[in-house]
Chain A
């Protein structure tokens, strides 16, 4: 961690809301990158219970 206090993950994300259009774009990119990561994780490490395609 870079700081000595807990900045709070939610508190950091909230700050993108302040910036109008720029902020919305940051929020969009942030969540889109998460969606992509979730999809990729799903492909790379499928659950053991599921049959491999």
Chain B
């Protein structure tokens, strides 16, 4: 299943993996390695022997993992001599890392349900998960994959679910925020890596909200108990054990939370582009011409990674997926991304990863030392970017000068397929409504082509039937 003994070439410490002292992650070129303490190694042995490990690895929901060879451990010890590492694991490397603040509602919901299924399965096998954070989940296209094997530990009898609070802060409250309030969770999670505290979340609601499913217990009582017990130490655990707390109570909590999470539905506010496909200005013939153009470029050679920037319903992402290992499909409209995700999930697609990203304000580097979570570009540049129906939104709706847009495209260091609607285009006219007549003087086909040709070699360009839109396939100079 997994190679264990190939010599790792130049491991790099993963800067975001420092929180748990029983393990540390190092990145290799094709594999991810995990250094383990003596405790971590004993926990791994218990996991590796379990049915859970076999079952979830077989379904692809747990990252493929094996013991790494001694050469890996030696290299890790050389890099981090003070770490006290006594063992190392080797994991499959998933093609693109993403974060919960880039996921749509249903993605966070499915990641939550995976986390809960792992907890309840673990409980039956004498195991437990020491945390409950969505950062432990990554994606194989539209399939969630639990990647933090170091999260499993041997269960201690009489111990409650230690990760419950974290689960609320990073999974449950963000989901409730959108389901009950119609407010996007992504900006909050992006600003607060630890999630939404019970006290803060409680403050968003009135007493009447206590009647909504899950609110009384997981929000109101939770915030109340947190306030009451703020000054208590961790002796609560011992007290609970003495009072007869057992595994069945943990199972009951997990089942209760799972039932709640399953029934939640996204309720985004009015979404500008949700109905785009119905209302957009394309003629059918034009769409077909665009598809042909993209298919031609995609078919030239197989690519490792393609980005579809402004993917909307994913029409072109699907074409791109025919010629690449993975398509990262981004759009700033979370409702659109959620629809794309659910349809990909229902098709069991593993070749398109949909993400909620506003390209005028893309994911920054955040966390400790600005290195815990990295920018979108730092997680792997594509070999080809599709920018269809994107430039006018950046340039006119977001006021990014055309010159800046092209410079940014060039910095992606990849081939591009880019569409430019000129000023006469009905969609451009719509975006210009309400702006001064002389607004965006730089926005013209001439300026765009001049900037594009300065930085790229234009391999092919096609004017679409309407006469207001042009497609370019360009390669960096």
By a CB distance below 8 angstroms, the chain A residues around B224 are: 10
By a CB distance below 8 angstroms, the chain B residues around A30 are: 239-240, 243
Contact of B232 among A9, A14, A16, A19 (CB under 8 A): A9
Contact yes or no, B244 A10, CB < 8 A: no
Q: Is B58 an interface residue (CB 8 A)?
A: no
Contact of B228 among A3, A4, A10, A15 (CB under 8 A): A10
Compute how far the CA of A9 lies from the CA of B230 in the bound complex, rounded to whole angstroms.
7
Contact yes or no, B222 A4, CB < 8 A: no
Contact yes or no, B164 A13, CB < 8 A: no
Compute how far the CA of A4 lies from the CA of B156 in the bound complex, rounded to whole angstroms.
15
Interface size on A, residues (CB 8 A): 29
Contact yes or no, A4 B252, CB < 8 A: no
With A12-B160, A15-B253, A18-B256 as contacts: A7 and B165 at CB distance below 8 Å? yes
Compute how far the CA of A16 lies from the CA of B156 in the bound complex, rounded to whole angstroms.
17
Contact yes or no, A4 B19, CB < 8 A: yes
Q: Is B21 an interface residue (CB 8 A)?
A: yes
Compute how far the CA of A32 lies from the CA of B22 in the bound complex, rounded to whole angstroms.
37
Contact yes or no, A16 B240, CB < 8 A: yes
Contact yes or no, B252 A6, CB < 8 A: no
Q: Is B265 an interface residue (CB 8 A)?
A: no
By a CB distance below 8 angstroms, the chain A residues around B159 are: 2
By a CB distance below 8 angstroms, the chain B residues around A5 are: 19, 130-131, 162-163, 165-166
By a CB distance below 8 angstroms, the chain A residues around B162 are: 2-3, 5, 7, 12
Contact yes or no, B131 A4, CB < 8 A: yes
Contact yes or no, B240 A26, CB < 8 A: yes
CB distance from B116 to the nearest CB of A (A): 13
Contact of B168 among A11, A20, A23, A34 (CB under 8 A): A11
Give the residue among B162, B221, B227 with the most A Cβ atoms within 10 A: B162
Contact yes or no, A16 B166, CB < 8 A: no
Q: Is B398 an interface residue (CB 8 A)?
A: no
Q: Is B79 an interface residue (CB 8 A)?
A: no
CB distance from A12 to the nearest CB of B (A): 5
Contact yes or no, B234 A9, CB < 8 A: yes
Q: Is A29 an interface residue (CB 8 A)?
A: yes
By a CB distance below 8 angstroms, the chain B residues around A18 are: 249, 252-253, 256
Compute how far the CA of A28 lies from the CA of B253 in the bound complex, rounded to whole angstroms.
18
Contact yes or no, B244 A4, CB < 8 A: no
Compute how far the CA of A13 lies from the CA of B234 in the bound complex, rounded to whole angstroms.
11
Compute how far the CA of A15 lies from the CA of B165 in the bound complex, rounded to whole angstroms.
10
Compute how far the CA of A18 lies from the CA of B177 in the bound complex, rounded to whole angstroms.
23
Q: Is B315 an interface residue (CB 8 A)?
A: no
Q: Contact string, B225-257, partner A, CB cutoff 8 A, digits 1/0?
A: 111111011101101101111101110110010
Q: Is B217 an interface residue (CB 8 A)?
A: yes
Contact yes or no, A13 B225, CB < 8 A: yes
**23 A-B pairs in the complex with CB atoms less than 8 angstroms apart:** A2-B162, A4-B20, A4-B131, A5-B163, A5-B165, A9-B225, A9-B226, A9-B232, A11-B164, A11-B222, A12-B160, A12-B236, A13-B236, A15-B164, A17-B217, A23-B252, A25-B244, A26-B243, A26-B245, A29-B243, A30-B243, A33-B239, A33-B242
B positions within 8 Å CB-CB of A: 19-22, 130-131, 156, 159-166, 168, 198, 217, 221-222, 224-230, 232-234, 236-237, 239-240, 242-246, 248-250, 252-253, 256
Further pairs besides A5-B166, A26-B244: 18, Cβ < 8 Å: A3-B131, A7-B160, A7-B164, A9-B226, A11-B222, A12-B162, A13-B225, A15-B245, A16-B249, A18-B252, A18-B256, A19-B249, A20-B252, A26-B243, A26-B249, A27-B243, A29-B242, A30-B243
